[in-house]
Amino acid sequence: MSYDIAVIPGDGIGIEVTEATEPLLIELAAAHGVEIETTWFDWGSERYLEEGALMPDDGLETLKEFDAILLGAVGHPDVPDHVTLRNLRLPITKGFNQHICKRPSYLFDGVESPLRGYGGGDIDLVVYRQNTEGEYADVGGREHQGFGNEVAVQSAVYTREGTEAIVRAAFEAATERSGKLTNITKSNAQAYGMVFWDEIVEEISEEYPDITVERLLVDAGSMDFVRRPNEFDVVVASNLFGDILTDIGGIISGSLGMAPSTNINPSGEYPSMFEPVHGSAFDIMGEGIANPVGMLLSMSLMFEHLEEDDLAETLWDGVGAQLADSDAPRTPDIGGTATTLDVVGDLEERLLE
Ligand code: NAI
Ligand code: MG
């Protein structure tokens, strides 16, 4: 098999983890008889600062031809965050209807959780985040700027189609996993959209009588990600809540730098996109110490999506074995002193030599 992959390293540590890991992706695939051809796009904040746009007008047309997209991260100290997000990542996720965002949080053997008493495998959950609507809908506006009656309106949008799709994907995942699903909303305060969401969960649950459904409000749910993360299996949540919960999921599993993410267009009409959960990390960019694991696991999930299960497993298990080895290099966020390139180089030896 052969695949054409679009690579958008983006900004900051997005560039660092992408450049460090892409050669390994290609070599590992080749060792399994799979050909990967990558095309790099220098889209991101530097382009915005020079040319006034993060990506060209026909960016989506260009990306459409690829089998999948890898994204590092976007975000730059000199560009407002809403500009970077709304001009690259959101146009791609929305333009390609990548409405399913699946984000696993797994505590690997050999990695210390900041939470006391959890060992390898004790935290093993997956968040299904609605990825194209909800609180990230581009619906709202600002008026009367500079006057006393200045006003900002930001609306959330929940469609039956979008909500049913993410809820159904979560139920399907729960069927494959341990049979438990937690629905996290805030329907006491958001009595239209989130009550609607809860009703859809209720309706679809009737098709899955064997799945145990737990319901939590997001404030208590966030607390329980810290208090009892071992009791979660599949979690379904809106765009904003899924975003927040998966940063918590990342840190309780050792580091945000190890959390992978997927943006799936289930119909296959458009390419899906794979990226680490983390951003461009202004505080460590340029130091060469970003943890590459989030990107590597995202690549594993890309292989899974491409139905290259063997490659997906080899990469995931390889990362797991490296983390379990206390002599292996690790980056400072998980207690080591190694660089991004040290970690990838060591993994390359383990997987290819
Ligand atoms: P962030 O995820 O970039 O960083 C949060 C914290 O986690 C920082 O202390 C950082 O050093 C640490 N961290 C993140 N990834 C790491 C890694 N691989 N290795 C070691 N430590 C890591 O979030 P922050 O600081 O809120 O955002 C920075 C910029 O990134 C902003 O412009 C934001 O809008 C953007 N961003 C972009 C995303 C994307 O492109 N998908 C996602 C999240 C944020
Ligand atoms: Mg996020």
pLDDT of res. 64? 98
CATH assignment of 1-99+258-353, given 3.90.950.10, 3.40.718.10, 1.20.120.450, 3.90.1150.10?
Answer: 3.40.718.10
CATH of region 124-252? 3.40.718.10
DSSP calls for 40-61? E---SHHHHHHHS-SS-TTHHH
Q: Which ligand is nearest to the CA of 343?
A: 1
Structure tokens given for 65? 């031809």
| Per-residue pLDDT at 154 | 97
Neighbours of ion ligand 2 (CB under 5 A): 243
**Helix 12-31 vs helix 309-324: crossing angle, to nearest 10:** 120
Q: Could you give the CA distance from residue 167 to residue 340 in angstroms, rounded to a whole number?
A: 36
At a CB cut-off of 8 Å and minimum separation 6, what does 277 contact? 103, 246, 247, 250, 256, 259, 260, 261, 294
Angle in degrees, CA 31, 33, 34, rounded to 5: 100
Provide the phi-psi class of 144: left if phi over 0, else alpha when psi is between -120 and 50, else beta. Answer: left
Contact 312, 238 (CB under 8 A): no
Distance 280 CA to ligand 1 centre (A): 5
CA of 353 to the centre of ligand 1 (A): 33
Euclidean distance between CA atoms 139 and 149, whole angstroms: 20
Beta bridge partners of 129: 101, 237
Pocket probe for ligand 1: among 74, 273, 280, the residue whose CB has the most ligand atoms within 8 Å is: 280
Give the residue whose CA is nearest to atom 10 of ligand 1.
281
Residue span(s) of the chain under CATH 3.40.718.10 come to 1-99+258-353, 124-252
Give the ligand whose atoms come closest to the C-alpha of residue 81. Answer: 1
Ligand 1 nearest-atom number relative to CA 275: 41
- List per-residue pLDDT tens for the chain, 353 residues long: 999 999 999 999 999 999 999 999 999 999 999 999 999 999 999 999 999 999 999 999 999 999 999 999 999 999 999 999 999 999 999 999 999 999 999 999 999 999 999 999 999 999 999 999 999 999 999 999 999 999 999 999 999 999 999 999 999 999 999 999 999 999 999 999 999 999 999 999 999 999 999 999 999 999 999 999 999 999 999 999 999 999 999 999 999 999 999 999 999 999 999 999 999 999 999 999 999 999 999 999 999 999 999 999 999 999 999 999 999 999 999 999 999 999 999 999 999 97
Ligand nearest to the CA of 280: 1
**Which atom of ligand 1 lies closest to the CA of 85?**
34
Cα-to-centroid distance, 41 and ligand 2 (Å): 22
Q: List phi, psi (to 5°) of 185.
A: -135, -160
- Cβ-contact 107, 254 below 8 angstroms: yes
Cα separations (Å) of 47 from 10, 61, 81, 278?
Answer: 10, 18, 15, 21
**What is the distance between the alpha carbons of residues 55 and 50, in angstroms, rounded to a whole number?**
11
Q: Whose CA is nearest to atom 22 of ligand 1?
A: 257
pLDDT at residue 353 in the model: 78
What would the pLDDT profile of 73-110 be if each residue is shown by its tens digit? 999 999 999 999 999 999 999 999 999 999 999 999 99
Residue 8 Cα, ligand 1 centroid: separation in angstroms? 16
